[in-house]
Every structure is written in structure tokens, then in C-alpha cells.
Amino acid sequence: MPLTDVQIANALESLPLWSRKGDSLLSQFVFGDFIEAFRFLTAVAFLAEKYHHHPVIHNVYNRVELQLSTHDAGNKITQKDIELANAISGLTKE
């Protein structure tokens, strides 16, 4: 079920690496080089499988952009997106 605007805004308060862009959550990450970016993407892939939820991924050299929305909810933001965004954010703390 899609979240309300208020629910999304409240969730984003605890997700400083993420912002809302239309009906998606968006985050951009910059790494030292392509290998670091690819290592991060590999970890994101494992999380996506674990959560059964997969982001749109854009990668150019050391830059990674992730976009989250729930396809089976009409490409809207749901709790699944919040949970995966939180898990991905945890990767940057390691």
C-alpha cells in the first residue's frame, strides 16, 4: 500500500541520505573509484534479494544513484522502500 505524504516525510527524517523525487526515493553515492562503487552495488544487490525489492540503479564510474519505488503498488513509495533505503544506508556506516 502506498504511503501518505506525511508518512513519507516522517520516514525521510531518519533517512538523511535519501530524498523524495516524485513517487520515488532517491539517493546518490560517490566513491573513490569504480571498484568501491561496484563493491557497494554488490552489497546493494544482496540486500535487494534479501528484501525481495529491487532498486533502479544508475552507475557511472564512481557515482551510484539509487531510486526506490514499489512496482506492484503502482510505482509509489511504500514501506518496502523505506525498509530497503534504511538497509542500504547501513552499508555506508561499515
Write the pLDDT tens digit of every residue in 21-73.
999 999 999 999 999 999 999 999 999 999 999 999 999 999 999 999 999 99
Lay out the sheet containing 19-21: strands in order across. 19-21, 24-30, 63-68, 56-60
Q: Grid coordinates representing 21?
A: 523525487
Which CATH number fits the domain that encloses residue 41?
Answer: 3.30.1360.20
Dihedral (CA of 21, 77, 79, 44) sign: negative
pLDDT band at residue 94, thresholds of 50, 70 and 90?
low
Number of domains in the chain: 1
Residue 65's domain comprises: 5-91
